[in-house]
């Protein structure tokens, strides 16, 4: 496969189309698979019982790597092309976790944002879940 920096916009769009119907994307640099689509939208952390599965959510460090990679960010729609694919992530701050706050990752046409002070009962039509798993060779 061609290096991302050498890909035209047309080639990137074709790449996105290729992954449109796939469930998981292999992230070689992190040795994980990430769900391509955000699901279970408009449900709260509490309603989804994500405390039990927080280790299956992306970390902020993983989100930064994905968002800064042209190919991955395009496929996962965290490049600013969608404001409907925000997702819960692991809470990076112990102080907030101790207060019961949850974290989410948002990307829209003008910015990429990390929110760490939301209550576990908050929901939003654009907010959902994107799980990760260790990649099996």
pLDDT tens digits, one per residue of 42-100:
999 999 999 999 999 999 999 999 999 989 999 999 988 888 889 999 999 999 999 99
**What percent of the chain is predicted at pLDDT more than 70?**
94
Domain extent for 128: 4-134
Instruction: Round the average pLDDT of the chain to a whole number and report it.
Output: 89
CA pair distance 95, 91, nearest whole angstrom:
10
Burial class (CB in 10 A: 0-12, 13-18, 19+), 77: middle
Tokens at residue 49, please?
């019982």
Spell out the residues 6+ positions from residue 46 whose beta carbon is closer than 8 angstroms to its own.
Answer: 120, 121
Record the pTM. Answer: 0.86
pLDDT tens digits, one per residue of 33-57:
999 999 999 999 999 999 999 999 9
The tally of domains found in the chain comes to 1
């Amino acid at each position: 496969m061609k290096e991302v920096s050498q890909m035209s916009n047309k080639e990137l769009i074709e790449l996105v189309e290729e992954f449109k119907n796939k469930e998981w994307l292999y992230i070689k640099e992190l040795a994980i698979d990430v769900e391509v689509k955000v699901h279970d939208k408009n449900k709260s952390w509490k309603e989804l019982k994500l405390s039990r599965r927080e280790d299956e959510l992306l970390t902020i460090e993983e989100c930064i790597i994905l968002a800064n990679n042209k190919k991955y960010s395009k496929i996962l729609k965290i490049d600013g092309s969608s404001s409907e694919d925000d997702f819960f992530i692991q809470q990076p701050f112990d102080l907030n976790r101790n207060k019961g706050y949850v974290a989410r990752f948002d990307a829209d046409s003008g910015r990429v944002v990390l929110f760490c002070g939301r209550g576990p009962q908050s929901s939003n039509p654009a907010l959902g879940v994107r799980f990760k798993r260790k990649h099996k060779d």
